Amino acid sequence: MAGHSKWSNIKHRKGAQDAKRGKLFMKLAREIFMAAKQGGGDEETNPALRIAVDKARSNNMPKDNIERAVKKATGDLEGVNYEEFTYEGYGPGGVAVMVKVLTDNKNRTAGEVRHAFSKNDGNLGENGCVAFMFNRSGYLVIDRSTTDADEEDVMLQVIEAGAEEMETTEESFEIYTEPEAFSDVKAALEEEGYSFSTSEVTMIPETYTELDEEGVEKMLKLIDMLEDNDDVQEVYHNLDADEAVLEKLS
C-alpha cells in the first residue's frame, strides 16, 4: 500500500475546502440517517452508525442535528427516504473516480453526476469499471504537533491496537486498519491519549494516475463540482498530483 500520501494530499485539500458548514452538516446527517436506517439507532450495536456519529462530532456537528437524523431514520420523526448509490467512471486523463451518493431522487442525481463528468472531460462507466482499483480501509491521521511521542512509540501502540499499517510523514502519522477493526483501533489509541485530524472508513486506490498541471486543474474542477452536489457524500479517485501543483491551484 505504498504511496498513500499521494492520496491523502488531495484528501487534506478537500477537508480544508469543505468549510461550508451547512452543506457539510446536511451530508453528515444523511450518512447518519442511512446508517441508523440500515442497522438501528443504537451506536453500541451499530458500528456504521458509531462511525458516522464520530465523523459528525469531529466536524463539530451539533448534538441536536445528530439526534434528529437518527430519529428520522428510526421513525420517531417524519422525513424523506434516501437511497444509496455508487457511480463509477473516469475523469480527465483516465483518473478512476467513484462517487457515493445518498438521494431521494435517483434520476435527478444520476443526471447531475453525468453532467459533472461530461463537463470536465470525464465519462461515467458501468458498475464495477473502477471499483476493483480501490480497497476499503479505515484511515486515521495523528497530527505530529499534537503529541510528543516518537515514531517508534506510536508504531508499537498502533500495532498493539490492531492496525494494519502506519506511514510517517514530517507532519503526521497515517494509520490504516481493516474496516471492521476501525472503531476498536480508534478507541484503543484514544485511550492512549491520541486525537485525530482525520478518522474515517474510506476507499484507498491501489494504483495512481499522474496528470500534468492542466489535467490536475480539470480533475480538481470535476471533484469540486461533484462535491458541491448536495446528494454526493464522497468522491474517491486515484489522482497523483504534485504538492506544488496543488498549492498553485488551490
Question: Residue 77's pLDDT is what?
Answer: 62
Question: Residue 1's pLDDT is what?
Answer: 40
What span, in angstroms and rounded, lies between the C-alpha atoms of 102 and 185? 28
The C-alpha cell 458509531 sits at 50
Whether the per-residue pLDDT at 250 is higher than 80: the answer is no
Contact in structure between 231 and 107 (CB atoms under 8 Å): no
Please state the rounded mean pLDDT for residues 28-47.
90
Question: Residue 69's pLDDT is what?
Answer: 87
- Higher per-residue confidence, 130 vs 241: 130
Q: Which of 86-100, 112-126, 236-250 has the lowest mean pLDDT?
A: 236-250
Please state the rounded mean pLDDT for residues 200-225.
91
Question: Residue 124's pLDDT is what?
Answer: 95
Contact in structure between 137 and 179 (CB atoms under 8 Å): yes
Q: Dihedrals φ, ψ of 139, to 5°?
A: -140, 120
What span, in angstroms and rounded, lies between the C-alpha atoms of 195 and 154? 12
Whether the pTM exceeds 0.75: the reply is yes
Taking CA 83 as the corner, what is the angle to CA 123 and CA 102, rounded to the nearest 5 degrees? 60
What span, in angstroms and rounded, lies between the C-alpha atoms of 124 and 87? 7
Under the banding of pLDDT at 50, 70 and 90, the label for residue 2 is very low
- Higher per-residue confidence, 13 vs 185: 185
The C-alpha cell 463537463 sits at 119
What span, in angstroms and rounded, lies between the C-alpha atoms of 237 and 134? 9
